[in-house]
Copies of this chain bind each other. A is one copy, B any other.
Amino acid sequence: MSDLPATVSVREVGPRDGLQNEAPVPTAAKVELVNALSTTGVRRIEAVSFVHPKAIPQMADADEVWQQITRNDEVRYSALVPNLRGAHRALGSGFKEIEVVVSASDTHNRKNINRSTEESLDDIAELVSIAHGEGARVQVIVSTAWGCPYEGDVPVERVVGVAARAIKDGADTISFGDTTGMATPGRVTALIGELRMGHPDVDVNLHFHNTRGAGLANVMAALQLGVADFDSSVGGLGGCPYAPGASGNVATEELIHMVEDMGVDTGIDLEAMIDAAATAERIVGRTLPSQVLRAGPRTRTTPA
């Protein structure tokens, strides 16, 4: 355990990936959540997505949310976009950091955005070029990176091939998404190893779901390889609307609780993040899956 990264950068995705997969909540509640998160010490927040309101009504008020939040200068806010139209909206709203998704599984990509993986990659090439022209950075998220709920296993070579094409076309960073929680630690090691063979220097973010309980075990496997950039969602909000059976993202407070206890600095105040998770739970009105939200940190003792 001695060779873990000294610090990891956490991107909080609750306001976007989380709320996108809950029953719609009022704009004011979204603003409250982003504002709560902005004061936890987290340095990156995926704040909104610019998608068609008919496809994802939960994000129809993206512009209002973005205008109404109290921005913290120490936080990098990003927006997810599904396509060029969404990218134009995000860039027009002033986002300097956008994420675009492509699935390594053709079937999943078609279900998601009605394009083949190759067609999406062509679109992304154009999108990256436009974003760069506006001075924005683009992360390409390769989803179903450890398996597809329709196709099953997706070969590591195919996943890395999709990433490689995006890198060639100018993607600033890559993320691998475990869309329906099909990753296990051995598969994490295999994919990171394969990526680094061809792209030793690319910055990679990992986005795990806890759908089958292995979320934090997968984080550990990646940490041991020196990966130091993870997505997580306050309270464990969210899942994937296109993936039957999928449930929550790795909970941010569970992630930081574990890694901070091992001396890995996240810059995030655990108690503040637990408070934000309680806010998230109140906003969505259902019990969230985070265990640390329930039990509190390991340092919280009871009088004998």
Question: Which residues of A are at the interface with B, using a C-beta cutoff of 8 A?
Answer: 1, 107, 111, 147-152, 180-182, 184-187, 189, 210-217, 219-221, 244-247, 251, 254, 257-258, 261-263, 290-292, 294-304
Docked pose: A215 CA to B215 CA in angstroms: 10
Docked pose: A182 CA to B298 CA in angstroms: 5
Question: What chain B residues lie within 8 Å of A258 (beta carbons)?
Answer: 184-185, 212-214, 217
Total copies of this chain within the assembly = 2
Docked pose: A244 CA to B263 CA in angstroms: 26
Docked pose: A152 CA to B261 CA in angstroms: 13
Q: Which residue, of A182, A251, A298, has the highest number of chain B Cβ atoms within 10 A?
A: A298
Question: What chain B residues lie within 8 Å of A211 (beta carbons)?
Answer: 291, 295
Closest beta carbon of chain B to A73's beta carbon, Å: 32
Q: Is the interface of A mostly helix, strand, loop or mixed?
A: loop
A292 touches B219 (CB 8 A): no
Question: What chain B residues lie within 8 Å of A304 (beta carbons)?
Answer: 107, 111, 150-151
A301 touches B151 (CB 8 A): yes
B181 touches A295 (CB 8 A): yes
Q: Which of chain B's residues has its CB closest to A297's CB?
A: B212
Question: What chain B residues lie within 8 Å of A216 (beta carbons)?
Answer: 213-214, 216-217
Question: What chain B residues lie within 8 Å of A181 (beta carbons)?
Answer: 291, 295, 298
A186 touches B261 (CB 8 A): yes
Closest beta carbon of chain B to A5's beta carbon, Å: 13
Question: What chain B residues lie within 8 Å of A261 (beta carbons)?
Answer: 184, 186-187
Docked pose: A253 CA to B18 CA in angstroms: 26
Docked pose: A216 CA to B299 CA in angstroms: 20
| Given pairs A212-B257, A212-B258, A244-B302, 8 additional interface contacts (CB within 8 A) | A185-B258, A210-B291, A211-B291, A213-B215, A213-B251, A213-B292, A217-B220, A220-B221
A sample of 8 cross-chain residue pairs with beta-carbon separation below 8 angstroms, ordered by A number, consists of A151-B304, A181-B295, A184-B257, A185-B258, A214-B257, A217-B258, A220-B220, A245-B302
